[in-house]
């Protein structure tokens, strides 16, 4: 999925990239860093965070599971709503998208509805 707009409200996209293409070590540093970034973001914002898994190497399913696992270990996760979905594009590639927002977001219901509608729209096959 490229830069398709999934949310029109105050939202930010989280991009996790391995720009030097080195294999990542299997330690807690990566998880702890991502969790710290998410935690700091939400301490300062009541916006929506959108995470879309990179698909270039066909490992997006693994990335999605890993991100969901990392978030499940977050000690403040009860303060948030996290919704994940998958979309199959025209080439048959499965794309994963996740939104995270604080439960006290005044637009929680509308944002969830907009995300769900966007996913449904993007999932429709062109006629």
pLDDT (tens digit, 9 = 90+) per residue, 43-77? 999 999 998 887 778 878 888 888 899 899 899 99
Per-residue DSSP letter, 104: T
- What average pLDDT does range 81-88 have in this prediction? 92
Q: What distance in Å separates the CA atoms of residue 2 and residue 122, rounded to the nearest whole number?
A: 12
The answer to whether residue 81 sits within a structural domain is: yes
Domain that holds residue 77: 11-19+27-123
Q: What distance in Å separates the CA atoms of residue 25 and residue 43, rounded to the nearest whole number?
A: 28
The answer to whether residue 3 sits within a structural domain is: no
Pairing outcome for strands 80-88 and 94-102: antiparallel
The answer to whether residue 97 sits within a structural domain is: yes
Q: With bands split at pLDDT 50, 70 and 90, how would you rate the model's confidence at 112?
A: very high
Structure tokens at 47: 């916006």
pLDDT (tens digit, 9 = 90+) per residue, 16-27? 766 777 777 667
Inter-residue contact 113 to 7 (CB < 8 Å): no
pTM of the model: 0.80
The answer to whether residue 83 sits within a structural domain is: yes
The answer to whether residue 107 sits within a structural domain is: yes
Q: What is the pLDDT of residue 66?
A: 87
> In angstroms, how far apart are the furthest CA atoms of the chain?
46
Q: What is the pLDDT of residue 126?
A: 65
Specify the number of domains making up the chain.
Answer: 1
Structure tokens at 54: 């990179």
Going by C-alpha positions, the residue among 127, 48, 54, 40 that lies closest to residue 96 is: 54
Higher pLDDT, 92 or 6: 92
The answer to whether residue 4 sits within a structural domain is: no
Q: What is the pLDDT of residue 1?
A: 40
CATH number at residue 117: 3.30.110
């Amino acid at each position: 999925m490229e830069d398709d707009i999934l949310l029109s409200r105050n939202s930010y996209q989280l991009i996790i990239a391995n720009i030097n293409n080195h294999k990542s070590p299997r330690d807690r540093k990566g998880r702890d860093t991502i969790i710290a970034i998410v935690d700091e973001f939400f301490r300062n914002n009541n916006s929506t965070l959108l995470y879309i898994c990179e698909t270039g190497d066909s490992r997006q399913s693994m990335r999605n599971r890993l991100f969901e696992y990392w978030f499940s270990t977050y000690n403040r996760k009860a303060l948030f709503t996290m919704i994940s979905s998958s979309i199959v594009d025209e080439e048959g590639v499965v794309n994963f998208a996740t939104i995270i927002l604080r439960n006290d977001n005044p637009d929680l219901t509308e944002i969830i509805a907009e995300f769900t509608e966007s996913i449904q729209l993007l999932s429709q096959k062109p006629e």
